[in-house]
A and B are shown apart, each in its own frame.
Chain A
Amino acid sequence: MTRPDAALRLRRLLTIIPWIVDHQGSRLDDLAARFGIKVSDLERDLELVPFCGLPPYTPDRLIDCEIVDGRVFLRFAEYFGRPLRLTPTEGFALLAAGQALLAVPGADENGSLAAALGKLAGVLGGGDGMAVELGAARYLEPLRAAAAASERVEIDYYTFGRDEVTTRRIDPRAVFAAAGQWYVDAYCHRAGDDRLFRVDRVRAVRPTGEHFDPATSGGPSGGELFHPRPSDRRVALLLNADVGWVVESYPMESVEEMGDGRLKVVLVANERAWLERLLLRLGPSAEVLEPAEVRTEAEEAARRLLVRYG
């Protein structure tokens, strides 16, 4: 019961003591803010420090902790002069976050972040063997600028699922990278609702000269990128073993092994163009079980493409 708390507090102490040893007279409230804890928790931890030290635990062998006018002084704590090494997870997480931010187009390759990561890579013994790519998209920077300034913009947007380009006015609230893509989280005036747009499918961005109020345009919708609804069209396919990757690539409603290596899968497919692409690519490795009209749609798509080769 008490273990998690002891581990947490111990980790905190081993992190804070070295800082105070190096910065004698630090203020309690500054320390609490720096280490992301409440002043009362910090005081509780520091109360314990005078009972710690080395045998025979005489006053000269115990850590001396004094708090004067809200300022903290530590003596005889030299053996805790340095913080603990980073764990592999901590080192990885810090480097990954830094490299990712540095990979955002427009990041300063010679700035403080790059300098910090250089020092970190030196200590971790890694060198430059970690690379993070968030990808670039042509209209990423104008959209980020518009979001930062709360500027309403007009965009031409390619809807992949319907294979068509539409023009719409949007209030871009935030631009972020997730699942290998850049997205704009925006209020769409054409839809009259919040929408996520993929930045690589934006075909043009034009200023409108209007601003929107970020406070009234609602919070970021964020979260899940794909929510199936009961009314969505569901398609059942029988997949050969060689195209099992489909299961890993798209959200599946259900997957059933047929015993002969084949898989019966059910997936949500509202958009005709999206399903056409999937079935054209899978070819003879997939059989449409239901609904029957999807089989006809795939055949029609193949005939439509063949016209180009006529």
Chain B
Amino acid sequence: MDLTGIGKGLAIPDAAAEKPQTAASPASKFSDALRNAVNDVSRLQQTADKAIKEVQTGNTGSLHEAMIALEKADISFRTMLQFRNKFIEAYQEVMRLQV
């Protein structure tokens, strides 16, 4: 059965066309994406930490700025968690493939 025509009209990128890029390091793709997500979250959490420290030491920091930094870190963490869940789901789906 010929299925190649299905995706043609839907502007779905051809998987075969992207192959040269992905084939170079197929194993590091998942970990790279995860690492980037974790790094972003870590940066925001450090900002939040700094803001809280400034409030606690009574320096220049204002309470609401610290809270906003904290909430930003919270949202980014939750976003990262969702990324991670999706990645793991996709990874396990691939590992379950019957050969």
Decide if A and B are genuine partners.
no
Chain A interface residues toward B at CB < 8 A: none
